[in-house]
Structure 1
Amino acid sequence: MYRDRLDAARRLAEALGHLKGVKPLVLAIPRGGVPMGRVIADALEGELDVVLVRKIGAPGNPEFAIGAVSEDGSVHLEEEARRCRQEWLAREIDRQRELIEDRRRRYTPVRSPIDPAGRVVVVVDDGSATGATMAAALATLRQRDPARLIAAIGVAPLDTLARFEALADEVVCPEAPDRFSAVGQFFADFGQVQDEEVVHLLGENAP
C-alpha cells in the first residue's frame, strides 16, 4: 500500500493539512515514526520531537505487544500480560525503562523534551498492530494538558483505531485493512531506521 515510510508520511501530512498555521508539535515514536515525523512537521511548519515509549513484547514473540512503558515511568499492560510470569515482566519493564533513558540521552543530549502543554500535538508512528505503544503514548501525553491530541498512523486494523479514538481528539490513518498480520506487510520498503538517522532528523531545523 505504501512505497516506504516517506510515502506514508506524505499521505498523512496531506490529511493533516488543516493544522498548517497552528505550529503543531509533532511527536514521533522511535524509531520508525521519526522519518515520518520529520516530513509531517516540515509540511505543517511545526516542531519535531520524540515521545519515548517502549513496547513490551510477548515471551517468544517480541513483535507482539503485551504492554508498553512510557518515559514518565508509567506502565500500560494488555490483558495478555497477566499470563506472564511476574518476575519476568518486572525485569522486562526495568529493561525498557533503561532503554528509554538511554535513548533520551542520545536523541536530545543538549535540550529537554519539548513541553506539549497547550499545544496541538500530533503523535506519529508508521503503523500499529495491537495499539499498545501508541495507546501508552496518548495516555501519557493526555496528562500533560495538550490543547488537542491527534494520533497519526500509517496503517492499523480497525479495532486498534477504535481504541485510539477513546484516547485522542482525532485519529488519522489512511490505511485500515481488514486483514492485518504485521505493519511491514503494507510497505514495499520497510527497512530498519537506525539511531544515527533519528539523531540527524531531530537535529534538523524545520523550514
Structure 2
Amino acid sequence: MPFIDRADAAAQLARALAGHAGKRPLVLAVPRGAVPMGAIIADALGADLDVVLVRKLGAPGNPEFAIGAVDESGWTYLTPYAAAAGADSEYIDRERAAQLEVLRRRRAAYTPGREPVRATGRQVIIVDDGLATGASMIAALHAIREQKPARLVCAVPVAPPRTLELLQPYVDEVVCLETPAGFRAVGEFYRDFSQVEDAEVVACLKGR
C-alpha cells in the first residue's frame, strides 16, 4: 500500500506541492477525511486552511455509489451514468435536498461565526484523500472557480486515470501521487483509513 495513513499521504502531497510555498496559497479540504490532511499541507506550505463543502449524490439503493455531487449553492454535477443507475429527476431533487441539509449543518458546525475564506485572486489547492468517480471534486472545483481564483489546483494521493481526465476542464493543475489502472476503492491504498469524525474536523479548523 502506498500510504500508511492520511498523515503519511498528506506529507507526501506537501512535498509534491512545495512549489506553491511562499505564494500565500489557500488550502481547501473536502470534509471529513481530507481536513486533517489539509492541516498538514497548509502548515508545510505556510497556507491558510478552510473547507470546501460538497456532498456526493448516492445512487438509488446504493448510497455509497456516487451518481453526482452538489455544492453549497445547490449547483449539481451528474455523472453520465446517473440515469442508468435509476436516478430520475424526482429522485435527484430529493437527494439534492437531503445533501444540502447536511451541508448546512456542517457549515454551522465547522466554521461557526465566520464566513468561508474567499478564494478570489488566490492560489487555491483543493485537497481530498482520494478520488473514485471524481463527482465531489468536480463540484468542489466548480464552486471555487466561481470565486475567480488566480490558480486552481487539485491535490489527491490516489485516483484512477479516467477520473483525472474528467477533472481537466475544471482545474489548472492536478497533483496526484498514484494513478493505478486497477482501481476499486480509495481505502485500498491506505494501511489505515479510519473514519475522521466531526470533532477532529472542528479541532483542525479552530483558530485558523
The answer, yes or no, to whether TM exceeds 0.5 is: yes
Residue of structure 2 equivalent to 1:21:
22
Q: Any gaps of 5 or more consecutive residues in structure 2?
A: none
Quote how far apart the aligned CAs of 1:60 are: 2.3
Amino acid paired to 2:126: V
Which residue in 1 is equivalent to 2:177? Answer: 174
Distance 1:204 1:42 in 2: 13
Amino acid at match of 1:81: A
Aligned-pair identity (%)? 54
Aligned match of 1:105: 108
Deviation digits for residues 2-54 of structure 1 (CA, Å, limit 9, x no counterpart): 00011110111000000110111000000011011000000000000000000
The equivalent residue for 2:131 is 128
Which residue is equivalent to 1:95? 98
Alpha-carbon shift at residue 167 of structure 1 (Å) = 1.3
One-letter amino acid matched to 1:12: L
Does residue 48 of the first structure (1) align with residue 63 of the second (2)?
A: no
Q: Secondary structure at the match of 1:34?
A: helix
Per the alignment, residue 73 of structure 1 pairs with 74
Q: Work out the CA distance in 1 between the residues paired with 2:137 and 2:88.
A: 24
SS for the counterpart of 2:82 is helix
1:96-121 deviation line (CA, Å, top 9, x unaligned): 00110110000000211000000100
TM-score, normalised by the number of residues in structure 1:
0.96
RMSD: 1.0
CA contact (8 A) 2:74 2:96 kept: no
Question: Partner amino acid for 2:48?
Answer: E
Listed as ranges, the gaps of 5+ residues in structure 1 are none
Cα displacement (A) at 1:164: 1.6
TM-score (norm 2): 0.96
CA–CA distance in structure 1, aligned partners of residues 91 and 164 of structure 2: 30
Q: How many aligned residue pairs are there?
A: 205
Residue 204 (structure 1) shift = 4.5
Measured against aligned partners, the alpha-carbon deviations of 1:123-171 in whole angstroms (never above 9, x if no partner) come to: 0000010100001111121111000000001110001111222211110
Hey, what's the Cα distance between the residues in 2 that align with 1:30 and 1:165? Answer: 22
**Secondary structure of the residue that 1:81 maps to in structure 2?**
coil
